[in-house]
Amino acid sequence: MPNVFKNSSKIRDSLRTSVAMVQIKFLFALLAVMTIVLMEANTVSARDCLSGTFGGACWAWSGEKCRRLCIEEGHVSGHCSGGMKCWCEGC
């Protein structure tokens, strides 16, 4: 009889581990979906577009020129990106 109790204990432990893994996977999937939704919301609200008049690489020291050209194009403002491009805001 003791052998039967050992097997049932192993089954119970295995079932607990299995349930915990399903809960962790569900939580991870939920967090991934929430992250995607939040990133999409930020992207939609940004509405940035490339400047049509800025020429060349947009460096940190040419940020004022980028901003000025974007305002002249009729946008709210502008900024230089890490890819060295001038992006206008409020397109």
What confidence tens digit (pLDDT) does each residue in 4-52 have? Answer: 556 667 777 777 787 777 787 777 787 777 776 566 655 544 688 999 9
Residue 57 vs residues 23, 38, 68, 81: alpha-carbon distances, Å: 49, 31, 15, 10
Whether 54 has a pLDDT exceeding 90, the answer reads: yes
Query: Pick from 41, 39, 37: which is nearest to 29 by CA?
Result: 37
- Angle (CA) 44-72-52 rounded to 5° is 60
Q: Which two tokens stand for residue 40?
A: 């999409």
Stated pTM of the model: 0.50
Question: Does position 1 have pLDDT exceeding 70, yes or no?
Answer: no
For residue 55, the SS3 value is coil
Location of structure tokens 């020291």 = 61
Two structure tokens written together for 1: 């009889």
pLDDT of residue 41: 53
